C-alpha cells in the first residue's frame, strides 16, 4: 500500500463538487490508494486509513503526547475524533454519485483507556444507509491485545450536491 498522501494546505483538499462526481466508496478508495489526500486531521490525531469496503472502513492509529489531557491520559476528543471519522466514512462508502454525507450527531463510550503509543484499529460499520440519513456504529480495538477500548454510534445526513 502506498504511503498516504496528506493534505498540506487548503488547496490540497478535494472540493465537494469534485468529490460528488464519484461514489463515496470510490472516494474512500482513492484516499486509501493515495490518489486523493487524507484530511489533515489524520496527521494531527495520528491515524491513517488501512481498509475500505462497502459499508466498512478501518483506520489504524495511536495516541501521542499531543493527545494527552491535563491528567496525562488520552483526551476523550481523540477517541471521539477517530470514531467519528470511521463511522462517518463507513456511511460515505454507501453514498451514490452526486451526494455527500456529514455527521449530525454521535455518541461514544470509552470502556478503558488506550495507553500512550498503543496501536489500535478503529472500525466503522454502516447499519443503515438511506436517501437522507445514514446510521453507523464503531469500535476501537487494540491491534495486539484485541481488547475493546471504546464504542460509538452516529447519524449522518445524506445530501445531494447542487
Which domain CATH number covers 31? 3.10.129.10
Number of folded domains that form the chain = 1
Concatenated DSSP letters for 94-136? TPPTTEEEEEEEEEEEE-SPPPTT--EEEEEEEEEE-SSEEEE
Any domain includes 72: yes
Q: Is residue 4 part of a domain?
A: no
Q: Is the pLDDT of residue 4 over 70?
A: no
Q: The domain containing residue 109 runs over which residues?
A: 10-160
Over residues 106-118, the pLDDT tens digits come to 999 999 999 999 9
Q: Is residue 31 part of a domain?
A: yes
Helices (H), 40-93: 40-44, 76-92
Instruction: Quote the pLDDT of residue 18.
Output: 81
> Is residue 151, in this structure, part of any structural domain at all?
yes
Residue 2 domain-assigned?
no
Among residues 55, 68, 149, 70, the alpha carbon closest in space to that of 108 is found at: 149
pTM for this predicted structure: 0.93
- Specify if 57 maps to a domain: yes
Amino acid at each position: 500500500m502506498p504511503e498516504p498522501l496528506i493534505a498540506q494546505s487548503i488547496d490540497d483538499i478535494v472540493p465537494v463538487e469534485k468529490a460528488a462526481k464519484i461514489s463515496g466508496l470510490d472516494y474512500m478508495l482513492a484516499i486509501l490508494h493515495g490518489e486523493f489526500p487524507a484530511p489533515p486531521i489524520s496527521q494531527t490525531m495520528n491515524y491513517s486509513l488501512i481498509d475500505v469496503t462497502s459499508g466498512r472502513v478501518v483506520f489504524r492509529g495511536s495516541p501521542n503526547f499531543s493527545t494527552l489531557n491535563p491528567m496525562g491520559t488520552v483526551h476523550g476528543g481523540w477517541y471521539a475524533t477517530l470514531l467519528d471519522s470511521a463511522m462517518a466514512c463507513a456511511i460515505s462508502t454507501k453514498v451514490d454519485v452526486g451526494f455527500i454525507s456529514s455527521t449530525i450527531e454521535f455518541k461514544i463510550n470509552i470502556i478503558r483507556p488506550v495507553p500512550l503509543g498503543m496501536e489500535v484499529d478503529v472500525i466503522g460499520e454502516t447499519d443503515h444507509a438511506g436517501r437522507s440519513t445514514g446510521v453507523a456504529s464503531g469500535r476501537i480495538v487494540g491491534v495486539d491485545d484485541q481488547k475493546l477500548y471504546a464504542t460509538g454510534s452516529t447519524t449522518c445526513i445524506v445530501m445531494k450536491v447542487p
